[in-house]
Structure 1
Amino acid sequence: MTVYPLSAVRTMALHAQGLTRPNAADTTPDIRDIKRMVEQLNYVQIDTLNLIQRAQYIVLWSRLGSYTPTDLDRLVYVPEERVLFEGVQGVAAILPLKDYRYQLPEFDKRREGLVRWYTKWLDQQGSHELVSVVYERIKQEGALKASDFVYDGPRRGSWWDWKPAKVALEYLFTRGDLMIANRVNFQRVYDLTERVLPGWVDTRMPRLQERDRYWIEQGLLALGICLPNQIAEYAYHMRRALPKGVRQELLDEGVIVPLQAVLADGQQYEMVVHHGQLQIMQQVADGAIRAERTTFLSFFDNLFWCRGRDLQVWGYRNIIESYVKAENRKYGYFCQSILHKDRIVGRFDPKLERKTSVLRLKALYLEPGVAPDEELVAGVATAMRDFLSFHKAKELVIERSEPCEFGEKLLKSI
């Protein structure tokens, strides 16, 4: 029996995620490349934090190199070019419209009151009436933002403590009555689904088994290779259990193919690949496909979605410290990971100072045991130059580097 080495596991996972192409092969991406990459990943998580470009834009830069961020916006918000949409797949996300029909069962679930948070809110006095008023205003007036609804109540608390009209808008959005027609200064603009959804979109309701099979296959294709319980976690974002019967059915049909592989702890595990990628797996094992890219990864990057996979495959821990008190942070508020070929070798905590066009790295780290040799520094410098260009930054400042020589060499190389 073939046992695939760790190097093959890493390269297969990176290839499926669009992260193996050498930087030198990058060309200027157009909207077709952006559409293709979102489809390859299944969906891209939307984040609100913008110390640098928001995560949804960084995820695509990591794979495509510098592109025009408004090209992604065009594919989501411009009616004549709309092939993507804002939806919910466990998280707020940008998804291909070709997959819209597979959201329909979730819309029905929310309409039937099976989402606990909204059910509790709807039980409050006046909530049903507010939903009707909000819907009718949009129907009569056209697309509206939450700020278009007057709120005279007390000051709201934390970021998720929305005013009542915002809750009504989100409720109508999550059950499919409204869609996101646009964003203005990153504020969502809501409109009736029938006025946003292109006429060519398939809206036939899938059977639940059909829906689950589709997402499971798409998730496995996007992962390339993974432990069996990680497929649903990627497909539904952090939901661990595969739907009953679906996994066995796909195994029996030969769609999911088990194999043996070694992970970062040196132990052998049963992993799975999609039958349609068996030839690619063999090309990876033969060395015909290699990991040759150096790039940076958002902490919300699709590569990190399956819990524990960072340690299992790369011996690296992707840490999100944006919601941690400053005194308790180990690396920094907004750390991006450094991918060099098939290794994750370090991380840095960036902040873009837009007025002065300075990209400031508050901290730059190499992982233990990683030496800042010429090849590594050259690769990171190439990626950093493109990262600067993508952010329209003219200067790089490194406040602290561990080890010191890594930061010094990087600045000299840039």
Structure 2
Amino acid sequence: MVATLTTDAARRIALEAQGFARKRKSDSPGPRQYASVMARLGLIQLDSVNVCARSHYMPFYARLGAYDQQHLDTWLNTRERHFEYWAHEASVMPVEQYPLWRWRMAEWRRWKRAELVLQQHPKLERDVLRQVSERGPISVKQLIAPSGRTKPWWGYGPGKIALETLFGEGKLTALRGKGFTRLYDLPERAIPKSIRLDDRYDKHLAHHELLLRATRHLGIGTARDIADYHRLQITVARPMLAELAAAGHIDEVAVNGWKGPVYRDPAARCPRAIRGATLLSPFDPLTWNRARAERIFNFRYRIEIYTPREKREYGYYVLPFMLDGELVARVDLKADRQGGTLRVPSAFIEPGRDKARVAKALATELERFATWLGLGSVSLGRKGDLIRDLRRAST
């Protein structure tokens, strides 16, 4: 018989699986704690948006509290430890996952502009590979045009297109350097030989393994939730998940109000309560699937960076605020690094929440967040139904 869970139980299972069952500690986290977060999540999504902090910093902050960002960068961007590829968008992952992505590399489809450029420059890929081989790891700005000119050959011109194509096809790999610059290198130099030559996973087995891992990372989810974690096709994932459940590798359950089959990691825990407060990134695995976040937290969340100013509902770069396992508010944030201030143009509370309690916890978290970013103050704006209470709580 399929067990039926409440939405509250499903929420607590999801939070525990994602590493939120314990309060953040005040001591300075290090590699052991970073590795624990990476093991929980399996991957960290990368994004160039830097309104407050780089997207890859935020999941570690949400689970660990303040830490040294440069220290994390060194840990993340160490060859033979991690690599970057297209998993859930651009992502950094433990290097042991490399064999799981060969099928995607083999099936990489060149976009039309890339196909056209590479047809116009038939020797381009070979030349770029030679440069990486001789001078790598290198960034796109360090490419030299084939004519021998010393002018950097970058932007979304032929050099960038060639690098991105070779990266997608697995002929190059990458990590990040200073300034979040993607540095390309040969897999032979960046991936340990034993892992590079591991041929255990064909496409079918890789999908099975990725679905098992996604179920573990999520704790609980629908077939679509689980497929989305690694951007797998739902038409392929759905029957595979049914097979995995029939074989006892995952549990099929039901959750009140959720449609379709729901799957749970057999090892998932359901804590009695979740304690603590933190801000969450739009690119955190807990919130990147907006439909799932709405289903679990009753929290409708959209990023409005690309929405015209006059049409924005909450603000430019809005982060959810989680208090004791519930998404209770949202704040628009901007790190004014020149002025040394964390700016909060707006703050909104969710319906039915205690304004005084939420404002007090949020004010404390904003001060903590600003300190972690190296900013000396928090400046509150005027917009939103939580701003007044937040201002009172901040004095």
TM over 0.5: yes
Deviation at 1:137, TM superposition (A): 1.6
Give deviations 1:160-199, integer Å, cap 9, x for gaps: 9711100101111111222225423222222222122234
Matched, 1:211 2:206: yes
CA distance in structure 1 between the aligned counterparts of 2:315 and 2:343, rounded to whole angstroms: 13
Q: How many residues align?
A: 385
Q: Is the 8 A contact 1:229 1:242 kept in 2?
A: no
Q: 1:220 Cα shift? A: 0.6
Deviation (angstroms), 1:260: 2.4
Question: 2:165 maps to what in 1?
Answer: 171
Percent identical pairs in the alignment equals 24
Kindly indicate whether the alpha-carbon contact (under 8 Å) linking 2:367 and 2:378 is maintained by their aligned counterparts in 1. Answer: no
Other structure's SS at 2:123 match: helix
Is this contact kept in 2: 1:182–1:188, CA < 8 A? yes
**Corresponding residue for residue 71 of structure 2:** 71
Quote how far apart the aligned CAs of 1:334 are.
0.9
Aligned with 1:304: secondary structure?
A: coil
1:130 maps onto 2:124 in alignment: yes
For structure 2, the 5+ residue unaligned runs are 147-153
Q: 1:148, 1:103 → 2: CA distance?
A: 27
Q: Does 1:276 align with 2:267?
A: yes
SS in 1 for 2:347: strand
CA 1:115–1:29 in 2, change beyond 3 Å: closer, same or farther?
Answer: same
One-letter code aligned to 1:310:
A
The answer for the alignment partner of 2:230 in structure 1 is 235
Alignment-derived partner of residue 332 in structure 1: 315
**Aligned runs of 1:296-311 on 2, under 5 Å?**
296-311=279-294
Q: Pairwise CA RMSD of aligned residues?
A: 2.4
Specify the code of the residue in structure 2 equivalent to 1:95. M
The correspondence of residues 35-50 of structure 1 with structure 2, limited to 5 A, is 35-50=35-50
Q: Which residue of 2 aligns with 1:53?
A: 53
Counterpart code for 2:78: V
Residues 222 and 389 of structure 1, relative CA distance in 2, 3 Å threshold: same
Partner of 1:402: 385
User: How far is the alpha carbon of 1:53 from its aligned partner?
Assistant: 0.8
Residues 189-228 of structure 1 correspond to what in structure 2 (within 5 A)? 189-199=183-193, 201=195, 203-205=197-199, 206-228=201-223
Partners of 1:28 and 1:104 lie apart in 2 by 37
Q: Distance in 1 between matches of 2:223 and 2:239?
A: 14
Specify whether residues 132 and 85 from structure 1 end up closer, same or farther in structure 2 by C-alpha distance, changes over 3 A only: same
Q: Does 1:17 align with 2:1?
A: no
CA contact (8 A) 1:118 1:171 kept: no
Q: Does 1:377 align with 2:369?
A: no
- Aligned equivalents of 2:373, 2:74: Cα separation in 1: 19
Partner of 1:313: 296
Shift of 1:307: 4.4
Give the distance between the partners of 1:64 and 1:145, measured in 2 at CA.
31
Q: 1:117 to 1:214 in 2, by over 3 A?
A: farther
SS in 1 for 2:235: coil
Larger mean CA deviation between 345-354 and 239-248 belongs to 239-248
Q: Which amino acid aligns with 1:219?
A: A
Distance 1:269 1:340 in 2: 29
Query: TM-score w.r.t. structure 2 length?
Result: 0.90
Rate the CA distance shift 1:341–1:244 in 2: closer, same or farther, 3 A: closer
Q: If the length of structure 1 is used for normalisation, what is the TM-score?
A: 0.86
Gaps of 5+ in 1: 153-159
Contact 2:18/2:218 (<8 A) preserved: yes
Letter in 1 for 2:229: Y
Partner SS for 1:55: coil
What displacement does 1:77 show?
2.5
Deviation at 1:22, TM superposition (A): 2.3
The code of the aligned residue for 1:204 comes to D
Counterpart of 1:190 in structure 2: which amino acid?
Y
The 2-side partners of 1:353 and 1:64 are apart by 24
Distance 1:361 1:224 in 2: 33
Distance 1:226 1:72 in 2: 30
Deviations along 1:94-122, whole A, 9 cap, x unmatched?
11112111112222223xxx445476346
Q: Which residue of 1 aligns with 2:29?
A: 29
Question: How far is 1:62 from its partner?
Answer: 0.8
User: Per-residue displacement from partner, 1:261-316 (whole Å, max 9, x unpaired)?
Assistant: 224xxx78752202232xx24xx3xx2xx211211111111112334112211111
Using a 3 Å threshold, how does the CA distance of structure 1 residues 72 and 201 change in structure 2: closer, same or farther? farther
SS in 2 for 1:402: coil
What code does the residue aligned with 2:212 have?
A: E
SS at match of 1:308: helix
